Structure 1
Amino acid sequence: MTATMIKEFRLPDLGEGLTESEILSWKVAVGDTVALNQVIAEVETAKAVVELPSPFAGVVAALHEQPGTVVEVGKPIVSFEVEDARSSESAGSSNGAAPNGGAASQTDEAPATPAKREPNLVGYGAVVEHSGRPVRRARGTVRTDAVALAAVPPAAAPPAVEHETAADSGTGERPRSTPPVRKLARDLGIDLANVSGTGPGGLITREDVQSFSGARHDDTATDAAPSASEGERETRTPIKGVRKFTAAAMVQSAFTAPHVTEFLTVDVTATMDLLARLKGSKAFEGVKLTPLTIAAKAVLIALRNNPTLNSRWDEERQEIVQFNYVNLGIAAATPRGLTVPNIKDAHGLSLHGLATEISELTATARAGKTTPAGLSGGTISITNIGVFGIDAGTPILNPGEAAIVALGAVRKAPWVVDDELAVRQVMSLSLSFDHRLVDGEQGSRFLSDLGAILTDPAMVMTMV
C-alpha cells in the first residue's frame, strides 16, 4: 500500500510585502482530489482578488480557515494528503530485503520507549526520544491520521493555532485574533483573554469584541432608558481589503507629496467630432471608443514635451527618477473600492491598441480580477470623474507618481468662437502634481498642451 503524508499550505505573500489576505471562497472541499496548480481558493489582498493554485497534488485533508476570515501571511490555510516520496525508497524492503542487502526491520525507525509527541496542526508532530533527539516515525502510520482528518467537516478543521513554545510553557497561549481585531480591542480597552472566540478554531472575531463590549456596557448601566438597537440606527462595514489599502495609500500620498491642482476648461467639439468619425470607421469596428480613449492618447503625447510629469521621488536615495516609458494608470470604481490598474508601456500603443487595453483593464478591474502586478508600477494616472456628471475636482496622487489628470463631464455650453457666441461641447481638466517634482511652469505647460490637443486634434502634428 502506498504510504502518504500530510503537507500544509501556508498563505503566501501575494505581492509587495502584503501581510494578510481574506479568504473569500474555497473552490475545494475536504476529501476532494486536486491536481498540481488547480485553483483551490479565492482570496482578497489589500490590492486585488487573487486565485490560489494548489502547490501539491493529492487529497484535501483539512481546511483551516473559513470564508470571510482574514489570515496573516505564513499561517496554514489548507492541508493535503499526498503520496510519501520516501515510500518508493522502501518498496524493495517490503519483500524482506533492506536496501543495503540486510534483513528489513520494522523497528529500525521506531523508538524503543514511548516518546513524547509535539503538538502539530495536522496529525502528529515529530517523535522525540527522551534524549530530546527527533526520530522519524515508522512509515505507514500517517494514513490513519489523514483519513481521520478527512472525515472532519470544514468548520471543525484544525485551526491555525500558534502553539506555545517550551519557553512559553506555563504562560498560556496568546488569544487568536487578527491585527484589526486586536486594534479594536485596544481601542475599546478590552483584554482579549476575557473574550470567547466564535470563529473557526476559537478565533476571536470583530463581532465577538463588539458583543463583549456591549455586554460589559449593559452590566454597568443602571436603569438606562431603552434605545433602538445599533443595527436599526447605523451600519458598520469592516475596513479591509482593497478599501483599506486605498485609504492608507491616499492618506500617505496626501500628507507626503505637496499637492498642487490646476484647472483648464476647453472646447472639445472637434475631439467629439473626431470620436464620432472613428466610431463609424471600419478600422475601429468592435472597439469601444470614449472621450477617455482620446484623452488618454492626448496625455501620452503631451508627456513627450513634458517628461517631468512622468517621474517619481525616491526618498531613500534622495533622487528624482524620470521614467523613459509610461505605465498609464486608469482609475476604476469597483464594488470593492477604487483601484488604479495601469497599462504597461502605454506610450508605444496606437489609438486602437490603447482603446482595447482600456476596455480590458476596466472590465478586469470591475470583475475584481486585477492582479497585484497589474496594480503596481504606474507612472501617471487618469481618473474619469465625468462619467458621474462631475465637472472638476482635486484628485489625490497615486503613491509614487508625480501627476494625475481628472477628466470632467463633456457638456454643451455657451462659448465664444471668432468673437461670436456659440453652443459648444466643453470639458474641464484638473491636474494635480507633486510640487517636489513638478514646478508651476512645467505643470501649466503640460496642461496647456493637453488642452490644445483636445481642442484641436490636428495640433498633434506640431508635437510629434
Structure 2
Amino acid sequence: MPTFEKFNLPDAGEGLTEAEIVQWHVAVGDAVTVNQTIVEIETAKSLVELPSPYTGVVAEILAPEGTTVEVGVPIIVVDTDPSGAAPAPSTPAAVVPDGADAAPAPGSPAAGAGSDGAVAPAASDAPAGGSGSVLVGYGTVEPGTARRRRRTAEPAAADRSAASAPAPSVPAAAPRATVPVSASAAVGHVHLPVLAKPPVRKLAKDLGVDLASVAGTGPGGIVTREDVQAYHEQAKAQPLATYADDDQPWLATGAVTPDGRQTRVPVKSVRKRTAEAMVTSAFTAPHVTVFHTVDVTKTMRLVHTLREDREFADVRVTPLLVTAKALLLAVRRHPEINASWDDAAQEIVYKHYVNLGIAAATPRGLVVPNIKDAHRLDLHGLAGEIADLTSTARAGRTSPTDMSDGTITITNVGVFGIDTGTPILNPGEAAILAFGAIREQPWVHKGKIKKRWVTQLALSFDHRLVDGELGARVLADVAKVLEDPARGLVWG
C-alpha cells in the first residue's frame, strides 16, 4: 500500500507567518531523497531553499508557484512507498483571493479551484503533530488557506464602452470650439457632444482613446484621424529612466494598467518588511542626526597601499573597509552606543558584541545583513566578510539569520555619488552611520589651500539611548581614524 506524507510549510526563521512559492525543483512523479532541495520560497526577508524531509515519489504538489502560503499549510505530498497503488487525491479547499470573505459553496464550479485551477489543501488535511518533521516550525501552526496573488481587476464594462458610445447628432451651426468642455461643465453642467466621423470613432475605439478628451482641429471643432493619433502617441507610457544594466526586475510581478501608463506591483516580501520596519523605526525611536566633513586623504593612501600588498591580494580593499574598522574602534571606545531599547521590559540592553550591519541595495529591495562578532576580526578578515556579505545579498541568498541581531549599521550612500543623508535606524539598533562620496576638493591643510580627498559622514541615533554628546563623540572618533588611520594602531 502506498504511504502518503504531507510536507507542511515550515517557519523559515524568526517567527515568519507566510511565504511565497517561487519555484518548484520537482514535479509529480519525480523521485526525491531526504535533504534534496525541492522548492524555493521567498519570505519577508530572503529566498530560502527547502529540503525534502522524505524519500519517495512526488504524488501531488499542493501549492503552485506564485502562491502565498501560511506556515503550517501542506505544500507537497510524497509517496514514501511508491510500490503500492496510485495515490488518492486529497480533498482541496478553495483558493480564496486576498480580501475575499467566503469560499465558493460545495459543488459550485469554482469550489476547490482558483482562476487557474490551482487548489490549496483543507485545514483538516494537515497531519496531526507534524510527524516526520525535520525542519524548525513544521506543523506548529494550524493550517490556513493559501492566498493567490492579487490581480488587477478588468475595467468595468461601462468604462470600456464609454469611448465608443455614439453621440447624438448636432447641427453644424453649433461649433464645438466656441465653448470649451471645461466651461460647459461649469455652466449648468451642459456637456457638448463630440463631433467625429464614424471611421474616426472606430479608430478611437481601437486605440482605446476617449474622444471626449481629444481637442478637435477640424472644421467646426470636429475630431480628425490625425487628432486621435496625436493624442494616442502623447498618452503612451514613457520609458522609465533606468541604468543600462537594469533589467527592471521589480516590474516582473506587476500588472500594467489598461492605459499602459502605470505598472502596479504588490507590496510583499523584502519590500513589505523593509517598509514596515522603517515606519516602525521612524515613529518609535526619536532620531537625531549629526554630521561631519572629513579629510580622508591618508585613508585613500592606505587603501592604495593595501591594494598593492600581497597579504590583501585575495580580498577587495575599499574606503568602506577602513570606515567599518573605524566605526568598530569607536564602538570599542564608547560601548554604550552598542545597545537597544526593550520597550516591553522597559530596559536598555547593552550588547557585549558587535554585529556590524552593512546596508545592501539588491534587486529585491534593501537588506541589512550583519557580520557576526565583527569586533573580533582584523582588517583582512573584515574585508573578506564584507565581500561575502554583499555578494550573497545581491544574489538574493541572504538568510534570515544573517539579518538578525544586528547591533550597529553602516550605509554606504557614497557608492551612488551621494554626499550624505539622514539614515533611518535599523530596528533594534541605537545608531547607523552614513558614509558619503569621496571627492577631491579644495581644503585648508596646514594653513594652505590644497587639493584633498574629502567625504561627509552622518550618524543617526536613538535619542532615548544616546545623548547628543555620546553621538558626537562616536562620530568624531570615526572621523579621527579616517583622517589618520595610524590612530587605529593606538586604539586597537
TM-score, with normalisation over the residues of structure 1? 0.75
CA distance in 2, matches of 1:287, 1:296: 15
2:290 paired with 1:371: no
Report the equivalent of 2:115: 198
Report the equivalent of 2:423: 395
CA distance in 2, matches of 1:366, 1:258: 31
CA distance in 2, matches of 1:217, 1:320: 60
**Cα distance per residue 1:115-172 (max 9 Å; x no partner):** xxxxxxxxxxxxxxxxxxxxxxxxx9xx3342x66xxxxxxxx6862xxxxxxxxxxx
Give the match's secondary structure for 1:21.
strand
Report the equivalent of 1:30: 28
CA distance in 1, matches of 2:156, 2:323: 56
Structure 1 residues 160 and 420: alpha-carbon distance in aligned structure 2, compared to 1, 3 A threshold: farther
Give the match's secondary structure for 1:37.
coil
Report the equivalent of 2:467: 439
Report the equivalent of 1:105: none
Paired residues, what number?
A: 373
Alignment-mate amino acid for residue 240 of structure 1: K
Out of 308, 322, 336, which is 1:280 matched to? Answer: 308
Alignment-mate amino acid for residue 393 of structure 1: G
Question: Does the CA contact (< 8 Å) of 1:198 and 1:205 recur in 2?
Answer: no
Q: How far apart are 1:221 and its partner, in Å?
A: 7.1
Structure 1 residues 335 and 374: alpha-carbon distance in aligned structure 2, compared to 1, 3 A threshold: same
Out of 407, 413, 418, which is 1:385 matched to? Answer: 413
Report the equivalent of 2:96: 177
Report the equivalent of 1:215: 156
Alignment-mate amino acid for residue 32 of structure 1: D
Q: How far apart are 1:192 and its partner, in Å?
A: 7.6
2:273 paired with 1:263: no
Report the equivalent of 2:249: none
Question: Does the CA contact (< 8 Å) of 1:198 and 1:204 recur in 2?
Answer: no
Aligned ranges 1:2-401 → 2 under 5 Å: 3-83=1-81, 143-146=84-87, 161=93, 176-177=95-96, 181-182=98-99, 197-199=114-116, 200-201=118-119, 205-208=148-151, 210-211=152-153, 214-215=155-156, 218=159, 226-227=209-210, 230=258, 232-401=260-429
Structure 1 residues 160 and 445: alpha-carbon distance in aligned structure 2, compared to 1, 3 A threshold: farther
Report the equivalent of 1:88: none
Give the match's secondary structure for 2:316.
coil
Question: Does the CA contact (< 8 Å) of 2:337 and 2:465 recur in 1?
Answer: yes
Q: How far apart are 1:461 and its partner, in Å?
A: 3.7
CA distance in 2, matches of 1:234, 1:261: 36
CA distance in 1, matches of 2:331, 2:414: 22
CA distance in 2, matches of 1:271, 1:159: 66
Alignment-mate amino acid for residue 357 of structure 1: E
Q: CA RMSD in A?
A: 2.5
Q: How far apart are 1:460 and its partner, in Å?
A: 1.9
Report the equivalent of 2:216: none
Give the match's secondary structure for 2:387.
helix
Q: How far apart are 1:177 and its partner, in Å?
A: 3.0
Structure 1 residues 176 and 409: alpha-carbon distance in aligned structure 2, compared to 1, 3 A threshold: same
Give the match's secondary structure for 2:486.
helix
**Cα distance per residue 1:330-378 (max 9 Å; x no partner):** 1111111110000000000000000000000100111111111111111
CA distance in 1, matches of 2:313, 2:433: 28
Alignment-mate amino acid for residue 177 of structure 1: V
CA distance in 1, matches of 2:409, 2:70: 31
Question: Does the CA contact (< 8 Å) of 1:265 and 1:427 recur in 2?
Answer: yes
CA distance in 1, matches of 2:150, 2:303: 52
CA distance in 2, matches of 1:206, 1:217: 26
Give the match's secondary structure for 1:232.
coil
CA distance in 1, matches of 2:382, 2:45: 24
CA distance in 2, matches of 1:456, 1:424: 13
CA distance in 2, matches of 1:372, 1:20: 14
Out of 431, 442, 447, which is 1:419 matched to? Answer: 447
Question: Does the CA contact (< 8 Å) of 2:47 and 2:398 recur in 1?
Answer: yes
Alignment-mate amino acid for residue 11 of structure 1: L
Structure 1 residues 286 and 449: alpha-carbon distance in aligned structure 2, compared to 1, 3 A threshold: same
Give the match's secondary structure for 1:361.
helix
CA distance in 2, matches of 1:351, 1:206: 46
CA distance in 1, matches of 2:258, 2:420: 37
Q: How far apart are 1:222 and its partner, in Å?
A: 9.8
CA distance in 2, matches of 1:11, 1:205: 16
* Structure 1 unaligned residues grouped into runs of 5+: 85-139, 150-157, 162-174
